[in-house]
């Protein structure tokens, strides 16, 4: 049986009234029969692009601040300035199934997956769309499904793999092993790469030269595919995908003098961003609104870099420390540091920043790690030094020293990608321990000194109690 008879555009398109880039595709005002939703280019485009609006409409969502602050606290990046029981569970890596944020990290990706599954089914059945629009939209939908599953599998391990619209099957599906989830992620991204165009779409126009970088294109699929290959130890494939993006002249590392502009909307380094939706009072990103103190001189940063960890991780002269770390000194002489990659909290009109999801610097670091894994230590060093040079640091001469290259790679990923989509946390939980102990991770090496109650099984979050209560099959072995 079909999961839907009607697509509710009030849900799919909520929050897009302030989003001019999506409005030009035409917004239906009520429910439209599924057969009509994909009967022309405009309504089909609205069906898919509506997902982006839902992803970034409100604060404390999976697709904005929660995927920034929670894994940063699980790792060794920053902590919350005040007492919060919910945050303390992440800080102490002792998250309970009842945690208020846990359910959001679970349910929202599955909501988006359900929507894109509807879209994939509708697009595949439609014979009314122009071939280019149909191809682009199918690529976007499969990219989004892969994107959601990437974070589900990295947060929870094995998860239900839902790729259809049969509600009875979906509601009782058990967990699939991580290997199967990654296989689906990679299959979807390979399909997406074939379907998407090189340019960024504008409304129903695809493969355009001037579109904003707010809908995935072929390079975005390659970028996420490179990461998925890296995470599944397919290093040669990861290197190839990252190289394709690095060699794409659409993207450039911002020069040192402009490093503070990396997170502006449509920056040359941006591969995919999520557009700002709620821009009341000049608000730009939810990340900037949450993180940046109201008063940059005497304000209280809510999220503070942890001393003796990220607080002190930057080398002297690192332009990232100067441009991406905010600093406020109290009357007592205590200096608090906080993430300051986004600069706009309020009163920036027109909007200057979008939420950065994929950017070019990560591709250099993916390729560096992939080369390291293939014992191409000189190639890894070259990519590491490209990132260091942009940060106004001297290049390293590592002389093919395996251990030195590994530590340099870890350092550059730490100070380049901090406070972005959980990179540091996912690195600690996926890298093996330097001790060589079987089953131990880099998290086991680093986190016990910061978190005395650290337990190795904390590299995965528990399933939300509401999910388990509604589907007992989630408790079964897989």
pLDDT digits (tens, 9 = 90+) for 63-108: 999 999 999 999 999 999 999 999 999 999 999 999 999 999 999 9
In the chain, domain spans: 6-209+461-475, 282-349
CA 449 vs CA 92, 312, 452, 453, 454: distances in Å: 12, 15, 6, 10, 9
CATH fold of the domain at 6-209+461-475: 1.25.40
The two beta strands, 355-359 and 270-274, are antiparallel
pLDDT band for position 121 (50/70/90)?
very high
pLDDT of the residue at 103: 96
CB-based burial label for 131 (10 Å; 0-12, 13-18, 19+)? exposed
Residue range 215-271, pLDDT digits in tens: 999 999 999 999 999 999 999 999 999 999 999 999 999 999 999 999 999 999 999
User: How far is residue 370's CA from residue 366's CA, in Å, rounded to a whole number?
Assistant: 6
User: How far is residue 444's CA from residue 449's CA, in Å, rounded to a whole number?
Assistant: 9
pLDDT of the residue at 7: 44
Instruction: Decide which of 113 and 296 is more confident.
Output: 113
CB-based burial label for 411 (10 Å; 0-12, 13-18, 19+)? middle
277: closest CA among 55, 44, 30? 55
pLDDT band for position 4 (50/70/90)?
very low
Give this prediction's pTM: 0.94
H or E element in which residue 124 lies: helix 102-125
312: closest CA among 68, 77, 70? 77
pLDDT of the residue at 34: 63
Give the total residue count for the chain.
Answer: 478
R_g of the chain computed on alpha carbons: 22
Residue range 328-338, pLDDT digits in tens: 998 889 999 99
CB 158 within 8 Å of CB 178:
yes
341: closest CA among 310, 364, 363? 310
Instruction: Respond yes or no on whether the N-terminal peptide bond of residue 350 is cis (omega within 30° of 0).
Output: yes
Cα angle 410, 418, 151 (rounded to 5 degrees) comes to 95
Q: Is the pLDDT of residue 16 over 50?
A: no
CB-based burial label for 331 (10 Å; 0-12, 13-18, 19+)? exposed
Q: Which residues, at least 6 apart from 377, have a Cβ–Cβ distance to it below 8 Å?
A: 371, 398, 400, 401, 402, 405
User: How far is residue 285's CA from residue 63's CA, in Å, rounded to a whole number?
Assistant: 11
pLDDT of the residue at 253: 98
């Amino acid at each position: 049986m079909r999961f839907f008879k009607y697509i509710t555009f009030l849900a799919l398109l909520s929050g897009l009234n302030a989003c001019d880039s999506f409005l030009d595709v035409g917004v239906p005002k009520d429910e439209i029969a599924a057969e009509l939703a994909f009967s022309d280019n405009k309504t089909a485009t609205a069906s898919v692009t509506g997902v982006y609006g839902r992803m970034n409409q409100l604060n404390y969502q999976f697709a904005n601040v929660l995927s920034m602050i929670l894994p940063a606290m699980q790792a060794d990046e920053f902590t919350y300035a005040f007492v919060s029981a919910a945050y303390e569970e992440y800080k102490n890596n002792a998250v309970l199934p009842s945690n208020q944020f846990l359910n959001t990290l679970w349910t929202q990706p599955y909501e988006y997956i359900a929507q894109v599954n509807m879209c994939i089914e509708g697009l595949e059945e439609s014979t009314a769309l122009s071939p280019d629009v149909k191809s682009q939209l199918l690529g976007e939908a499969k990219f989004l499904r892969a994107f959601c599953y990437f974070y589900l599998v990295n947060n929870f391990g094995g998860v239900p793999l839902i790729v259809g619209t049969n509600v009875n099957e979906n509601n009782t599906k058990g967990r699939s092993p991580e290997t199967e989830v990654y296989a689906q992620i990679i299959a979807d991204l390979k399909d997406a790469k074939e379907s998407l165009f090189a340019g960024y779409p504008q409304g129903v126009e695809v493969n355009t030269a001037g579109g904003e970088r707010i809908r995935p294109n072929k390079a975005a699929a390659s970028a996420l595919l490179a990461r998925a290959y890296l995470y599944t130890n397919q290093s040669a494939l990861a290197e190839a995908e990252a190289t394709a993006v690095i060699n794409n002249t659409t993207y450039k590392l911002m020069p040192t003098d402009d490093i503070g502009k990396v997170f502006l909307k449509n920056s040359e380094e941006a591969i995919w961003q999520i557009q700002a939706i709620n821009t009341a009072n000049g608000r730009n990103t939810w990340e900037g609104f949450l993180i940046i103190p109201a008063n940059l001189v005497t304000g209280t940063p809510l999220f503070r870099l942890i001393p003796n960890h990220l607080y002190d991780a930057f080398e002297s002269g690192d332009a990232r420390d100067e441009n991406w770390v905010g600093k406020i000194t109290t009357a007592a002489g205590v200096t608090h540091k906080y993430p300051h990659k986004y600069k706009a909290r309020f009163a920036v009109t027109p909007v200057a920043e979008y939420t950065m999801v994929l950017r070019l610097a990560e591709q250099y670091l993916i390729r560096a790690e992939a080369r390291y894994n293939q014992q191409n230590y000189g190639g890894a060093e070259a990519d590491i030094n490209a990132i260091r040079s942009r940060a106004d640091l001297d290049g390293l001469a590592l002389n093919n020293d395996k251990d030195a290259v590994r530590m340099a790679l870890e350092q550059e990923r730490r100070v380049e990608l901090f406070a972005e989509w959980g990179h540091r946390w996912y690195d600690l939980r996926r890298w093996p321990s330097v001790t060589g102990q079987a089953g131990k991770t880099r998290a086991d090496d680093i986190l016990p000194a910061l978190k005395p109650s650290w337990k190795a099984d904390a590299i995965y979050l528990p399933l939300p109690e509401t999910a388990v209560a509604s589907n007992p099959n989630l408790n079964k072995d897989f």
